[in-house]
Structure 1
Amino acid sequence: MPDYKFLNNQDIPYILEDETIIVRRASYYVKKYEATKNEWIGDPEEHRIHTIAKNIDVSELSEEARAYLIRIGFTAVDGGVGTIGEIEVIGQLPDHYIYCISSGPLEKLRKTMCEASAHNQEPYDACRELKSRSDFFETFKQGRVYNYDTGEEITKRIAVEPFREVLYTSKPLSLDEAHGNPSVKRDIFSDQMEHRFLANSVEYGEDIVSLKFHLPGLSNVFSRVF
């Protein structure tokens, strides 16, 4: 399936001339919803996950799975013994920086992303096709990263991960589905057909909301659709 980036025409010069993109933390989109009450770009459930586990022998869990359960608030597995009869937990996923593309049929995505509706009150008016995910990722790895608000270069403090497909579901996930999956959204967003590129701060506790990536060659990675 082809990959597309939907955006606003006013933002095109940043890509074509400045070769920059802005990447924001997941929690930014929670705050955007709180300000607009519009569930489209804003999402009150962004970076939260609903997990269910049944009849699990804690001693059989991997260290990573126990760490996941502890991270989302189920501290009873900390000792490594006992049985989980059944739990349902709404936990916080890591507050990744996220950059989204949409992968699917163009006309269907155009209708979803660019036509105003009761659900989409912030339609886009421009689209670029991503020529190659791998080239885009390599461009990211070779670029420089700045704190958007202060201009400070922080390239060495940011780690990037390849694109991954968003899992759309409004049902609780099994432990296997939930563990290690940072890209989960409710199925009311499924028409967006998102894949996400993730970035993280390697310094614990660093509180930077938005990053600016300066990516030489970025304009060559996209082609104009409209």
Structure 2
Amino acid sequence: MSGHSKFANIKHKKERTDAKKGKVFTKLGREIAVAVKEGGSDPSVNGKLRDVIAKCKSNNMPNDTITRSIKKAAGEDSGVVYEAITYEGYGPGGVAVIVECLTDNKNRTAANVRHAFSKSGGNMGTTGCVSFMFDKKGQILVELAEGMDEEELMMQALEAGAEDFNSDVDTCEIISAPENFSQVRQTLEEAGIEMLEAEITMIPQTMTEVKDATIIAGMENLLDMLEDDDDVQNVWHNWEEE
């Protein structure tokens, strides 16, 4: 992810995500399963499930697919149990990387993540080795459609509890504390505002610029390997992609 006012990384991530819809839907299905197990299948009383559904919609997951995933999760009395694990490390060029996983086999996942780091010229580190360089925030991206009042959007977001608002040529980024994310997202949703992305994320405090072609290729390989892994839900880094 990029910083507060930089949208290049976000757009690159979105392009990679769009090219791998099937795998993305599988990963989102896991998030639905975890949310349903924790708080039930009714999104009106399960705030976490509401947030996951919003994330699914921002990734263009069809409503019937979302509904099926919720019903499947609600019916799995003895189904697979997923464990949330986060790994940290350094990519090539010293880029800080955080990898968030949901897995039913942590030994397999740890081995795969470690292999991705080493294969790409980086190394997996210990817990906390890079997370202090990031801030956990709620992040909502809104495309500025024709006729949309940017100032009105900003006021709606801030009144709902957002703490920061940034805009690019055609995109607005709304930042909130994690505990205010649901309220901000729901307010915008009720106002009929479509969101490109809506999720809790890790925003880097500073970016690492990489110009060496070999290092860039290594970072691209690392991200591809991690995003191809079904156990990996999210990958955050402080690489300032051009």
Q: What's the TM-score, normalizing by structure 2?
A: 0.29
**Based on CA coordinates, which of the two structures has the bigger radius of gyration?**
1
| Larger relative contact order, structure 1 or 2 (CA cutoff 8 Å, min sep 6) | 1
Q: Give the structure with the larger helix fraction.
A: 2
| Structure number having the greater strand percentage | 1
